[in-house]
A and B are shown apart, each in its own frame.
Chain A
Amino acid sequence: MSDGQSLWILLPTGQRASGEWIDDTLHSRAEEQGLLDRLTQVATFPRQRVEVVRGPKAEAGVNEMFYRRGWTDGLPIVAPTMARVDAMLRAGGRPRNMVLGEAEPLKGLVTVEKVATNAVMAGCEDAHMPFVLAAAEALLEPEFNLRGVQTTDENVTPLLMLSGPAAKAMHMNSRFGALGPGWRANAAIGRAVRLIMHNLGGGWPAAVAFAGLGQPGRYTLCLAEDEAFNPWESLREELGFAVDDNVLVVQRAESVVNVTGGLNDLATVMASATSAFSRLHGGTVAVVLAPYVAKLLADEGKSKADVKTYLHENSQAPAAEFEKSWLPARLAGQTNFPRWVNEGVKAGWVPAVETPDDITVIVAGGDIPIPQCAYMPTWGFPACRIAKKIYLPQGWDPSPET
């Protein structure tokens, strides 16, 4: 058979250090949950690194097969051929067998090659690879609590915020529709992270991941901080990096709440039950300020620290309201709320987070005189704001292939 009819593909799924494939565990879970009528080929793949798919419709065949094996997010994937993965690996600049860690909860080894395989599937350009690697490393940091994120009944998902000049160079959107569709970097890097969680950690919805509803951010939740519209020091500088650095900041986001309004409206939303989990565990939340709002605040002479302090001081819920809200009422006497929450209850007011610094603020969005902001509450323990400096390999070229 001619090579044109053969796809040499790398398997994206997780293998433990002991050699076990996570699919064998997932098969049991999927069977218990009645998922095998849809995922008809779970754990039926050949137990090897590379598989050859033949025939005139090989790419379509790979797509259908991967879906039935449970290896996708439901959308078509790009077949991870050896040539595509090799190109991705070259762009990543790291050795393919390097092990970054074990992805919870099923402990598939996160090797650079597996990361590249999932990045190809997600539709990443080669130039995205250093960012996907950094995101994968962030997921593996203990404070990310990947096990919790993957298995909780809450809808939490990783939030990726890129601060640095590379964002513009590779067309990562930070303006109109930055949290929406249309830009490959936002779409594919976030999707690669989800596929890594899915295929290496085994966070299959309804089999291992029991988030009640999930959220659209579980396909991708990735945006850039806008360099030009940000009137203050950048997020990376705030976190101690140099202005020339590219830094990926990863947090846990329970959802994205749109707030068309100014700081006061944001604080009102933050004061509500949306902040239930930062009050339960402590934690780091994120606020996206519209360029218009940021400019008004800066023109008033407010610093980013002022903004954070304002939001902290004005996101306080009355103690009575907090106590009768669902979580505290439900968990009364069963769990220990953080000390700052208990003190807030005594004082009559409970803020959304412990300190102003627990609020990450970036500027992004369209350049229109409308205050379209967003609040991203968090879930889980411990507090998490992971900053990964990106090391771009020599020759990194973000210009798309022609």
Chain B
Amino acid sequence: MLRASAAAEAAGIPSSSLVCDGFLGQGATTAVGLGLPNLPMAKVPGHVDTQTDNELRHNVTSVTVEAVIENLTSAPPAAVMIPEPGPQDVVMDGSFEEINRFFYENGWSDGLPIVPPTRAKIESFLAFTDLPADHVIGKIPPDNRQATVWNVAINGVMAGCRPQYMPVLVALAEAMADPGYGVEHSGNTPGAETLITINGPIIKDLEFNYEQGALRDGFQANTSIGRWWRLYLRNVAGFLLHQNDKGTFGNTWRVVLAENEDVLAKINWPPHAADFGHARGDNVVTISRFTGGDVIASVFGQKPEDMLPYLADALISQTGWQLIFTVGLADGSYTPLLVLSPILAETIAKAGWSKDMVRQWLFENARIPASKFEQYIAEFTNLYSGGRSIFELTQLGKANALYGLSKDPNRLVPIVCDPLDIQIAVSGDPGRTNAQVFSHNGILGFPTARAIRLPNDWNNKLAGAE
């Protein structure tokens, strides 16, 4: 949480950030990304959450206070630019094995073989965008390197993408650079992973899997673009394990989720990207960061009223501490995703239910006792401290009015602030009655969509691609 300090320092106000022992390295790297590499930090020994009041008091008075005084009374030294290889430099000349070893040992690869990003391969990617190679897409924290068309292509080559995926990659880099997404949080301890969803005719152009096994590796477009995301986080954003990626466990990349637009058209439901203002037929990528989730197997029933209670229950069971994004931190930013297999969506739609009706029903029925809600955000986690009930927070204007309708701790309250906060997509095995719920990371990876801009003469170029 160095951003507040950075803002204060930028305004000329001395700051001192309290940082627990294990996070000093992350703090230092994050500070560089904030443009203030010498942002003053005061160490708190150990981790505060596991210390008694007395231990904490002793640690703070014996170590932290002195550093705070030093930080607030002396000027941090000036920033220095860190030289790196230039974007066009040839960094290595050698065999496939040597290039791979070199990239891996220098931290530029994820442990799997990469495709060596030769100039010729990069050029073949550049042919699939009308943007110039040096076009700057934005700056990506924490390292604040520039995202350029050139380095999008390099990482695309490395990830095993095909050249024609380039328009998707550029759109993803644009989404990553959007401040609304919050890429700077990507190294936080819950270690949530981004899910990319894709809409539009490009799903078929690039042969994304949108049917059986939609979330499994095995299709080049889904898999390699998912891998590109992590390589770009590593090589451009600068998230590295044991440094500033502090994911406690983390997980590997998720493959791209493509919607089954044939089914959507049949049942007249809008595509997932419509939630973000895009029309049916638009090529769009959406990124959103999910902490976890589960498959909801065997959704049994012939009509929505039979099936929806199970789905509402799934939303509840896959939501716990994340409620801090509904009330507490960045209220109303919790937007879980429900992926329905086509047969489930069709069965529900056949009864005349629109997607918004489904969301409304889930909003009204995916509810938990207020006391349980408070346990997740306060008692269990201490994510929201101070001991106030969500009723009291509402009275203070710190929670959505929905949570202040009663003081009864047993009243049922919703897990999201708005029906539209429940994202719904349709994909997977068309004939199997399973669903998938993704619990969401709130403002630390807020859904962000970008239109994919195809190059001129896309169809011819695509036809000419290998």
Q: Which residues of A contact B (CB under 8 A)?
A: 1, 3, 6, 8, 16-21, 24-25, 46-50, 52, 82, 97, 99
Contact = CB atoms under 8 A, between A and B. Distances in A.
Nearest to A17: B28
Interface string B93-131: 011001001100111000000000000000000000000
Nearest to B143: A19
Interface stretch (B84-92, B371-379, B401-409): B84-92
B94 A16 contact: no
Contacts, number: 58
B29 A50 contact: no
Given A1-B94, A8-B101, A50-B102, A24 B80 contact: yes
B85 A47 contact: yes
Contacts of B428: none
A16 B105 CA distance: 19
A49 B83 contact: no
A46 B102 contact: no
A19 B82 CA distance: 7
Given A47-B82, A52-B94, A97-B242, A82 B28 contact: no
B71 to A, nearest CB: 16
A18 B85 contact: no
Contacts of A16: 28
Contacts of A47: 82-85
B112 to A, nearest CB: 18
B82 A20 contact: yes
Interface stretch (B31-39, B157-165, B170-178): B31-39
B25 interface: yes
Contact of A21 (B82, B85, B102): B82
A46 B91 contact: yes
B80 A20 contact: yes
Interface residues of B, number: 25
Given A17-B29, A21-B83, A50-B102, 16 more contacts: A6-B94, A17-B24, A18-B37, A19-B32, A19-B37, A20-B37, A24-B80, A24-B83, A46-B91, A47-B83, A47-B85, A48-B85, A48-B91, A49-B106, A50-B106, A82-B105
Given A46-B91, A52-B98, A18 B106 contact: no
A49 B107 contact: yes
Nearest to B95: A1
A18 B28 contact: yes
A17 B25 contact: yes
A49 B105 contact: yes
Contacts of A3: 98
A50 B84 CA distance: 14
Contacts of A17: 24-25, 28-29
Nearest to A2: B95
A48 B82 CA distance: 12
**Central interface residue in A19, A21, A46, A50, by most chain B CB within 10 Å:** A19
A21 B83 CA distance: 9
Contacts of B32: 18-19
Nearest to A3: B98
A21 B85 CA distance: 14
21 contacts: A1-B94, A1-B95, A3-B98, A16-B28, A17-B24, A18-B32, A18-B37, A18-B82, A19-B29, A20-B37, A20-B80, A20-B82, A21-B82, A21-B83, A46-B85, A47-B82, A48-B91, A48-B106, A49-B105, A49-B106, A50-B102
